[in-house]
Amino acid sequence: MAIPLKVNLRSLVVRRAAPLLTVFGIGLIVMALTIVWGLQQGLLHVFRAGGDPRNLVVLRTGSTTETTSGILDNSVRVISSLEGIDTGTQGRPLAAGEVVIIVNLPRKGAVLTEGGSAWSQGANVLVRGVKPESVELRPGFEIAAGRMLEPGRNELLASKSMAERFANCGLDETVTLRRVPYTVVGVFTEN
């Protein structure tokens, strides 16, 4: 025997707290699951876009990140000679000793402070010193505008998003990093 619909509706009006708490509890559970799912999807995207799975990052003993590590050129030569290191199109081992530093760059449209700096409106940006082999280590790397770097010159490439977001990072502009001016000679994308 079924309970009439009007009894159920009257029960909702008389006992307001229980249905409201039930709806609120279900809403919290759905919200928590959505947040966890979003975090999981974000991590999957980062790990998929994080580079070629065949690449290996070697850090100095005791270092936990690229910015706190430094490997000397002779160590890079030893690593290059190890078994299992791929060779590039030129027949040389695909290994590159890259230097990574953090600099603070002002965003485009930043309001200058009294001293003329936009420090408070900037953001920390990783700058990577690369070798010719570095391009082959990143198969999705593509120059979207401009040209490739010439070794030994104060030049840099900016990612497309950096060129759009940061002051002086566009093609043919000059950005100063640690009191040294660098000319942006190319804008790149990575697929």
Confidence of residue 156 (pLDDT cuts 50, 70, 90): very high
Across-strand partners of 181? 176
State yes or no: pLDDT of 126 exceeds 80.
Answer: yes
State yes or no: pLDDT of 147 exceeds 90.
Answer: yes
> pLDDT value at position 120?
53
Per-residue tokens: 62: 């005791």
Long-range contacts of 164-171 (CB under 8 A, 24+ apart): 164/108, 165/107, 165/108, 166/105, 166/106, 166/107, 166/108, 166/123, 166/125, 167/105, 167/106, 167/107, 167/108, 167/110, 167/118, 168/105, 169/105, 171/145, 171/146
> pLDDT value at position 50?
60
d(CA 136, CA 155): 19
Confidence of residue 14 (pLDDT cuts 50, 70, 90): confident
**Single pTM value for the model:** 0.62
Averaged pLDDT for residues 140-153: 90
Cβ distance 122 to 105 under 8 Å?
Answer: yes
Higher confidence at residue 50 or residue 152? 152
